[in-house]
Amino acid sequence: MNKTTSILMNITLAGAALVATTSTLPTSVASAAQSEKGYITSASIVTAAATTSSSQSKKNNPYQAAGFEDPGAFDAFFGKLQLAVKKNNKQLVSSLVNYPLRVNSGKKVYYFKSPTRFIAKYDSIITPKVKKELLNSTQKDLFATWQGVSTKNGAVWMTSAVPTYKLGISTVNK
């Protein structure tokens, strides 16, 4: 077998494998993999599958970028936090904080290392502005980055503390 015949045979086998692969793809991946000219390549299948999987994950778990695997647990935490702030339950809110809590106030940064200190300064941390943003936020308003999950304008940031992985407030921007 000469070199040209060998190359043609490999191309034919690759094409047959590609056809077999595309026939078993989910419709969303197959349509995303199709180029403007109607061709489907193995590279476009991989790209389309990754894109489709990523967009489906974001729909199912909008907090994935922040490392939260269970969106239901995060939603429950957020609801509990909102209710505690609404009722001005300082003890409960303090239990939903990851210490040390960072509080940014203008150009100054404060750290609160204990629940006792947090409770003593609660009204200067959970200001009317912070409270309003937190209470008016819905799960749709929240956004997730590698830094955590934040309310719409960044007043409250929530993370999972390492090494305990306890979900809690990590930063307040007042």
- pLDDT value of residue 55: 47
Euclidean distance between CA atoms 2 and 46, whole angstroms: 32
- pLDDT value of residue 126: 98
CB atoms within 10 A of CB 3: 7
Euclidean distance between CA atoms 118 and 139, whole angstroms: 26
Residues β-bridged to residue 173: 104
Quick check: 170 and 104 in contact, CB under 8 A? no
**Amino acid identity, position 35:** S
- State which residues form the domain around 55: 3-60
- pLDDT value of residue 148: 96
Mean pLDDT, 10 residues at a time, the chain of 174 residues: 56 49 48 52 50 53 92 96 98 97 96 98 98 96 95 96 85 96
Last residue of a domain, one of 60, 79, 94: 60
Q: 145 with 116, same domain?
A: yes
Question: Taking the C-alpha atoms of 139, 142, 144 and 145 in order, what is their torsion angle to the nearest 10 degrees?
Answer: 180
Euclidean distance between CA atoms 28 and 52, whole angstroms: 7
Residue 124's alpha-carbon distances to 83, 94, 129, 171, 173, in angstroms, are: 19, 14, 11, 14, 11
Last residue of a domain, one of 25, 44, 60: 60
Output the domain CATH number for residue 137: 3.10.450
User: How many domains are contained in the chain?
Assistant: 2
Q: 86 with 155, same domain?
A: yes
Return contacts of 95-100, CB within 8 angstroms, 24+ apart. Answer: 96/168, 96/169, 97/168, 97/169, 98/159, 98/161, 98/166, 98/168, 98/169, 98/170
Q: 43 with 83, same domain?
A: no
Q: 115 with 45, same domain?
A: no
Q: 102 with 147, same domain?
A: yes
Last residue of a domain, one of 31, 60, 89: 60
- pLDDT value of residue 29: 47
Q: 72 with 88, same domain?
A: yes
67: DSSP letter: T
Q: 77 with 9, same domain?
A: no
Tokens representing 134? 């937190």
- pLDDT value of residue 50: 47
Q: 27 with 84, same domain?
A: no
Q: 93 with 159, same domain?
A: yes
